[in-house]
């Protein structure tokens, strides 16, 4: 039996869109320092689930607990302020801006003293410097120059920027919706390595992926979502990817 307090816990989440039931009473637990994968077929409710966790959706019913305390987020900003950072399936990067500006998008820092407080001048140099440190600390070798415009980056590099951004500011939980879907083998592996690094730094990660190989490579536990419900939670030690897919598709009942 698990006795630790989850960093993030959801109980009995319900989310409907008109007659469509996206979430039909879903529980989820994310424990300290783990990678929790969420798998499920298209439309199983994965994105809806993480949108409820990240404040993008307000669930119709159910409860969220952060470090054991009940929380209610009215919008993604509130969840971010509480330490939950999400990288959505549709990447929220600004192509025209450079890497450093993307990392600080929405939380630009001002220059110290009157230049910042009175003249509202941005601390461009400081943000650039801290971006470079952040990118280096995460071991993202694919990004070399943080003044490079994001529109000139490859798909994998853009994803790396989005993950770096989440890692820079997510103090409690990082949520990644399909971070490797559009990536080649090498870039996909780099994102997987970033996920491991985050976990090794003690940050728990929720990873949504259709890629069973990736899931079984990095996840500590696997939440299987099926038809708006949690069908099972398995571990790579006790279940194979084939077992998980069988539960996901309903070919097999969870043991
Ligand atoms: N904004 C919305 N309006 C109406 N229906 C929605 C909305 N968002 C999700 N749904 C419906 O809720 C169900 C769950 O969708 P969701 O996006 O959570 O699935 P998913 O598991 O993320 O699928 P995928 O693997 O395709 O990303 C689907 O039937 C979907 O059509
Ligand atoms: Mg989805």
111, part of any domain: no
What's the confidence (pLDDT) of residue 204?
95
227 lines ligand 1 (CB under 6 A): no
137, part of any domain: no
134, part of any domain: no
Given the CA of residue 228, which atom of ligand 1 is nearest to it? 14
pLDDT tens-place string over residues 2-48:
678 999 999 999 999 999 999 999 999 999 999 999 999 999 999 99
Number of structural domains (the chain) is 1
For residue 208, give the nearest of 26, 97, 65, 50 by alpha carbon.
Answer: 50
What pTM value is reported for the model? Answer: 0.85
Pocket test for ligand 1, best of 47, 50, 179, 223 (most atoms within 8 A of CB): 47
What's the confidence (pLDDT) of residue 141?
67
DSSP 79: H
103, part of any domain: no
129, part of any domain: no
The bound ligand whose nearest atom lies closest to the alpha carbon of 43 is: 1
pLDDT tens-place string over residues 133-163:
877 776 666 677 778 787 787 777 777 778 8
168, part of any domain: yes
Q: How far is the CA of 42 from the centre of ligand 1 (A)?
A: 8
74, part of any domain: yes
Predicted confidence band at 109 (pLDDT cuts at 50, 70, 90)? confident
Q: How far is the CA of 113 from the centre of ligand 2 (A)?
A: 44
- Token pair of 249, please? 């598709």
Given the CA of residue 49, which atom of ligand 1 is nearest to it? 18
The bound ligand whose nearest atom lies closest to the alpha carbon of 51 is: 1
The CATH number of the domain holding residue 25 is 3.40.50.300
50 lines ligand 1 (CB under 6 A): no
What's the confidence (pLDDT) of residue 138?
65
148, part of any domain: no
What's the confidence (pLDDT) of residue 10?
98
Q: How far is the CA of 23 from the centre of ligand 1 (A)?
A: 9
Q: What DSSP letter does each residue of 182-251 carry, written as one string?
A: T--HHHHHHHHHHHHHHHHTT--EEEE-S-HHHHHHH-SEEEEEETTEEEEEE-TTT--HHHHHHHHHTS
3-state SS class at 85: strand
pLDDT tens-place string over residues 158-178:
777 788 778 777 779 999 988
Q: Is the pLDDT of residue 96 over 90?
A: no
Its domain, for residue 37, covers: 8-98+154-249
- In this structure, which long-range contacts are made by residues 76-79, counting pairs with CB atoms below 8 Å and at least 24 apart in sequence? 79/53, 79/54, 79/55
Given the CA of residue 210, which atom of ligand 1 is nearest to it? 25
């Amino acid at each position: 039996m698990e006795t630790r307090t989850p960093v993030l816990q959801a109980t009995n989440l319900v989310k409907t869109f008109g007659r469509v039931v996206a979430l039909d009473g879903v529980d989820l637990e994310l424990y300290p320092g783990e990678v929790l994968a969420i798998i499920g077929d298209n439309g199983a409710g994965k994105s809806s689930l993480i949108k409820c966790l990240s404040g993008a959706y307000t669930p119709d019913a159910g409860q969220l607990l952060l470090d054991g305390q009940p929380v209610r987020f009215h919008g993604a900003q509130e969840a971010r302020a509480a330490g939950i950072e999400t990288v959505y399936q549709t990447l929220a990067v600004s192509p025209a801006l450079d890497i450093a500006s993307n990392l600080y998008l929405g939380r630009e820092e001002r220059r110290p003293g009157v230049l910042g407080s009175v003249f509202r001048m941005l601390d461009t140099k400081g943000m650039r410097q801290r971006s470079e440190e952040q990118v280096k600390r995460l071991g993202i070798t694919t990004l070399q120059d943080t003044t490079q415009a994001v529109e000139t980056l490859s798909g994998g590099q853009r994803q790396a920027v989005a993950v770096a951004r989440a890692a820079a500011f997510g103090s409690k939980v990082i949520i990644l919706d399909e971070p490797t879907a559009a990536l080649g083998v090498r870039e996909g592996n780099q994102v997987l390595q970033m996920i491991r690094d985050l976990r090794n730094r003690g940050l728990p990660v929720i990873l949504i992926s259709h890629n069973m190989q990736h899931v079984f490579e990095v996840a500590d536990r696997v939440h299987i979502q099926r038809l708006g419900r949690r069908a099972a939670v398995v571990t790579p030690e006790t279940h194979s990817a084939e077992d998980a897919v069988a539960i996901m598709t309903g070919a097999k009942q969870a043991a």
